[in-house]
Amino acid sequence: MLLDLDSFYAQCEENVNPSLKGKPVVVCVYSGRTHDSGAVSTANYAARKYGVKAGIPIVRAKKILESLDAAFVPMNHPLYEQVSERIMETLRTQADAFEQTSIDEAFLDVSERADHSFVSAKDAALEIKKQLATQENVTASIGIGPNKLVAKIASDQSKPDGLTIVKTEQATEFLAPLSANRIPGVGKKAEEKLAQLNVFTISDLSNLSPATLVDAFGKSLGAYLYRAARGEDDEPVRERGPPTQFSRIATLKQNTRDAEDTYQLLAELAKSVSDKLKEQEMSCKSVAIIAILNDLSIHSRSRTLEPPTSEVNKIEIAAKQLTQEFLQATPEATLRRLGIKASGLSKEAGQTNMSKFLGAQ
Ligand code: DCP
Ligand code: CA
Ligand code: CA
Distance of CA 53 to the CA centre of its chain: 16
CA distance 59 to 57: 5
> Is there a catalytic annotation at residue 127?
no
Is there an atom of ligand 1 within 6 Å of 242 CB? Answer: no
Q: Encode pLDDT of 198-218 as tens digits.
A: 999 999 999 999 999 999 999
3-state secondary structure of 216: helix
Per-residue pLDDT band for 280 (boundaries 50, 70, 90) equals: confident
Between residues 336 and 296, the one the model is more confident about = 336
Q: How far is the CA of 10 from the centre of ligand 2 (A)?
A: 10
Q: Find the farthest-apart pair of alpha carbons in the chain and give their distance in angstroms, rounded.
A: 70
Q: Encode pLDDT of 144-197 as tens digits.
A: 999 999 999 999 999 999 999 999 999 999 999 999 999 999 999 999 999 999
Per-residue pLDDT band for 348 (boundaries 50, 70, 90) equals: confident
Alpha-carbon torsion 17, 19, 25, 28, what sign? negative
C-beta separation of 289 from 301 below 8 A: yes
- pLDDT (mean) for 325-330: 96
Per-residue pLDDT band for 330 (boundaries 50, 70, 90) equals: very high
Cross-sheet strand order for the sheet of 97-102? 97-102, 105-109, 2-5, 140-144, 163-165
Is there an atom of ligand 1 within 6 Å of 109 CB? Answer: no
Is there an atom of ligand 1 within 6 Å of 216 CB? Answer: no
Three-state secondary structure readout of 241-279: CCCCEEEEEEEEEEEECCHHHHHHHHHHHHHHHHHHHHH
CA distance 154 to 162: 9
Closest to 150 in 3D by CA, of 119, 129, 128, 172: 172
Q: What local confidence, expressed as pLDDT, does residue 244 receive? A: 82
From 105, 191, 239, 281, active-site residue? 105
Count of Cβ atoms closer than 10 Å to residue 179 Cβ: 14
Q: What local confidence, expressed as pLDDT, does residue 355 receive? A: 45
Q: What is the mean pLDDT of the chain?
A: 93
Is there an atom of ligand 1 within 6 Å of 159 CB? Answer: yes
* Mutational pocket test of ligand 1: of 75, 104, 156, the residue with most ligand atoms within 8 Å of the beta carbon: 104
Atom number in ligand 1 closest to CA 105? 19
Q: What local confidence, expressed as pLDDT, does residue 349 receive? A: 62
